[in-house]
Amino acid sequence: MCQVTEEQEERSIVSLYRRLFLLNASVLVVAVLLLFGPVTVSTPVLLGEAVVLVAGLLVLLVANAVLLRVGLGPLQRLTRAMRTADLLRPGRRAAVTGRGEIADLTRTFNTMLDRLEAERATSTARVLSAQEAERRRIAQELHDEVGQTLTAVLLQLKHAADHAPAALRPELHQAQETTRAGLDEIRRIARRLRPGVLEELGLHSALRSLASEFSTGGLTVRPRIDAGLPKLAPETELVLYRVAQEGLTNTARHAGATRVELRLRALPDGGVGLRVRDDGRGIGTAPEGAGLTGMRERALLIGAELTVGDGADGGTEVRLDTTSGGPSTRTAA
C-alpha cells in the first residue's frame, strides 16, 4: 500500500478561503446564468420580476448564511475552548473535527496547551520546592535563634523577679508571661512553617495535631482518618497536609464556622481522598484567592483533583482526590 506524503495530503485539503470563495462563486454564477436564461429583467421592473429577484436574493442570503455557519462552526468551538482554557484545570482539550486549516489550528492549540501545562507543572514544582526549603530555613532560625533568645530572656526575668523588691515582682511576672506567650507563638509559627510531626510521626499524627491546633476560639475540628490507607509518597503527604492546613486556615479566617470535619479516606481506585468540610457561610460567588490557587498548584504536582465549593448541607467543602499508580501512592513494603 503506497503511503500518502505530507505534501499530497496538504494539496488534498482545500483551504477555508477557497471553500468559501468557491461556494459563494457558485451561487453567483448560478444567479447570473439564470439572468441570461429564463430569468430576465425589464425596464421598468415588473412586479413578477421584482418578486423573483427578491426571492432569489433571499435564497442567496440564506444559502450563504448556512454555508458560512457550517464552515465556521469548528472555529467558533475552538474560540470557546480558548476562552475557557485554564492551566490550573488541565486536561481540557478542543475537539478536532474535519480536515483543513481549522483542524490544523485546533491540533496546534491542543499541542500548545500540552506544552504550557508541562512547563507550568515543572516551574511550579521548582517554586514550591524552593518555598518549602525557605520555610524550613525560617522555621529553623525561629527555633534556634529567636526561640533561644526568648528562653534566655525568660531565665533572666525569673532571676530578676527572684531578687527584685516585692513592689516590682508583679510587673516582672507579667513580663515573664508576655515573653512566654511570645515564645509559644514563635513555636506555633515554626510548626506551621515546617511540620516536623509530619516527618517524624507521619500524616495521620500530623493531621490530628493540625485539627487540635485549630480547635480553638469556638471552632471544633473533628478528624476522621480511615485505617488501612495505602502507603503514600513523601511529596504526596506534604501536599495533603498543606491543603488541609490551608483549608482549615481559610475556615478559621473567613467562614464563620463552628464545626469542621477533616476526613482522610481510601478511594475505590486505590488512591486517597482528603475532605475539609465546615458549617460556615459557604464560598458563594467570592473569587479565588492566593490560598486556593496555591492548593490547585500543589494538587497538580501529584496529579490529584481538587474541587472547592459549597457543601451539600451548606458551608464550604474542599476535596482532594489522588489517583492510584501515579506519583501519589507507593506500594507498601
Residues 112 and 206 placed together within one structural domain of the fold: no
Asked if 94 and 9 touch (Cβ cutoff 8 Å), the reply is no
322, three cell numbers:
489522588
**Residue 96 placed within a domain:** yes
| 280-286 CB contacts, 8 Å cutoff, 24+ apart | 280/251, 280/254, 280/255, 280/256, 280/315, 280/316, 281/255, 281/256, 281/257, 281/315, 282/255, 282/310, 282/311, 282/314, 282/315, 282/316, 283/308, 283/309, 283/310, 283/316, 284/310
**Which of 18, 17, 52 lies closest to 35, judged by CA?**
52
Contact 318, 219 (CB under 8 A): no
Q: What is the structure's pLDDT at 18?
A: 66
Last residue of a domain, one of 118, 141, 162: 118
pLDDT at 121 over 50: yes
pLDDT at 315 over 60: yes
Q: Residue 280: which of 227, 218, 329 has the closest Cα?
A: 218
Do 111 and 207 share a domain, yes or no?
Answer: no
- Looking at residue 331, its pLDDT comes to 38
Q: Looking at the domain assignment, is residue 134 inside a domain?
A: no
**CA–CA separation, 103 vs 10, rounded Å?**
12
Residue 150 counted as domain residue:
no
Q: What pLDDT does residue 16 have? A: 60
Whether residue 135 lies inside any domain: the answer is no
Are residue 107 and residue 209 in the same domain, yes or no? no
Query: Residue 114: is its pLDDT beyond 60?
Result: yes
Of 118, 146, 175, the position where a domain reaches its end is 118
Q: Answer whether residue 266 is part of any domain.
A: yes
- Phi then psi for residue 74, to 5 deg, are -60, -30
Tell me if 149 is assigned to some domain. Answer: no
Identify whether residues 326 and 203 lie together within a single domain: yes
Residue 170 has pLDDT above 70, yes or no: yes
Which residue, 69, 98, 118, sits at the end of a domain? 118
Asked if 209 and 330 sit in the same domain, the reply is yes
Domain count, the chain: 2
Residue 1 maps to a domain: no
On whether residue 36 sits in a domain, the answer given is yes
pLDDT digits (tens, 9 = 90+) for 6-65: 444 444 444 566 666 677 777 777 766 666 556 566 666 567 767 776 777 777 777 777
Instruction: Give the domain CATH number at 266.
Output: 3.30.565.10
Sequence-separated contacts (24+) of 172-179 with Cβ below 8 Å: 179/150, 179/153, 179/154
- Average pLDDT of the residues in 226-252: 86
d(CA 95, CA 81): 9
- On whether both 226 and 96 belong to a single domain, the answer is no
- Residue 71 reports pLDDT greater than 50: yes
Lowest average pLDDT, out of 85-89, 116-120, 181-185, 279-283, goes to: 85-89
Distance CA 153, CA 245 (A): 32
Range of the domain at 92: 6-118
Query: Both 214 and 100 in a single domain?
Result: no
pTM of the model: 0.59
Both 330 and 216 in one domain: the answer is yes
